[in-house]
């Protein structure tokens, strides 16, 4: 089963994904936690190119194809083999990020992007997508603080430094995607404390596991 985490900068996806992984590991679920961009060897180099705030002249289309290249390799090298070996895969960002950021954010045609995602993933869609929804000012404030603490404002700050309007379009894009596919998306209010967010992620994933008949032993 493929579980993806989506949301704007500072929505707390990575923290929630880590906590969810801990809960599931406590229940002896065999899982793999991974992310995009940068979840495979090719992607780690691409991540640097994509996120460095000094890379101002990267065009929207070049950016798009780098994210897609990362995804294609990530699916082939990491995600599919894990799913085939029976692991549950938790992925921090996936194809919906391209629709939200390159589509709604940058203004590229979303139908075209869907076809490109389909090619990049070989048709592998998430079973459940947890959308961590947070107002933009709140998310950007958290992301800014994290970047200052980790010293990554320059090396990973290219998207964080986009305009407020860009991030509003991304957030609205995500909400529109969730409305189009309510069976796949669980929308979680990520302005709550992170423990609560992680618990809601857990309950959404448990529901999906039950639906898929893949239950684990009680803790």
Residue of 1, 28, 31, 30 whose CA lies nearest to 17: 31
CA dist., res. 110 & res. 116, Å (int): 10
* 13 forms part of the interface with ligand TYD (CB under 6 A): yes
Determine the interface stretch with ligand TYD among 18-26, 98-106, 196-204, 206-214 (rule: CB under 6 A): 98-106
Tokens of 72: 């294609």
Contact code string over 156-195 relative to ligand TYD, x by CB under 6 A: x--x------------------------------------
Contact code string over 45-84 relative to ligand TYD, x by CB under 6 A: ------x---------------x-----------------
Among 19, 40, 82, 97, binds ligand TYD (CB under 6 A): 97
Q: How far is the CB of 12 from ligand TYD (least distance, A)?
A: 9
| Angle at which helices 60-74 and 41-51 cross, to 10° | 160
Are 196 and 131 in contact, with CB atoms under 8 Å apart? no
Contacting residues for 5 by C-beta, under 8 A, at least 6 apart = 13, 14, 16, 17, 90, 91, 92, 93, 129, 130, 132, 201
Among 36, 39, 74, 113, binds ligand TYD (CB under 6 A): 36
Cis peptide before 37 (omega within 30 of 0): yes
Q: How far is the CB of 113 from ligand TYD (least distance, A)?
A: 9
* 34 forms part of the interface with ligand TYD (CB under 6 A): no
Are 201 and 16 in contact, with CB atoms under 8 Å apart? yes
Taking the least distance from each CB to ligand TYD, the nearer of 36 and 133 is 36
Among 4, 82, 90, 93, binds ligand TYD (CB under 6 A): 93
Among 4, 16, 19, 37, binds ligand TYD (CB under 6 A): 37
Tokens of 64: 């798009």
CA dist., res. 151 & res. 93, Å (int): 22
């Amino acid at each position: 089963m493929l579980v993806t985490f989506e949301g704007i900068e500072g929505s707390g996806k990575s923290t929630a994904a880590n906590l969810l992984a801990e809960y599931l590991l406590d229940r002896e679920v065999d899982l793999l936690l991974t992310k995009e961009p940068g979840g495979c060897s090719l992607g780690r180099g691409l991540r640097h190119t994509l996120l460095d705030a000094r890379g101002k002249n990267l065009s929207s289309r070049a950016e798009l194809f780098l994210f897609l290249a990362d995804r294609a390799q990530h699916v082939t090298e990491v995600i599919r083999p894990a799913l085939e070996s029976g692991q549950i895969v938790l992925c921090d960002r996936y194809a919906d990020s391209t629709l939200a950021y390159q589509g709604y954010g940058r203004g590229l045609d979303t139908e075209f992007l869907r076809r490109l995602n389909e090619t990049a993933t070989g048709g592998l869609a998430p079973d459940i997508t947890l959308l961590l929804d947070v107002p933009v000012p709140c998310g950007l404030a958290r992301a800014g603080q994290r970047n200052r603490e980790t010293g990554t404002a320059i090396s990973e700050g290219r998207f964080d430094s986009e305009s407020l309007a860009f991030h509003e379009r991304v957030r609205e894009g995500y909400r529109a995607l969730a409305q189009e596919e309510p069976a796949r998306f669980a929308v979680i209010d990520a302005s709550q404390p992170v423990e609560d967010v992680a618990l809601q992620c857990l309950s959404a994933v448990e529901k999906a596991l039950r639906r898929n008949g893949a239950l684990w032993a009680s803790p």
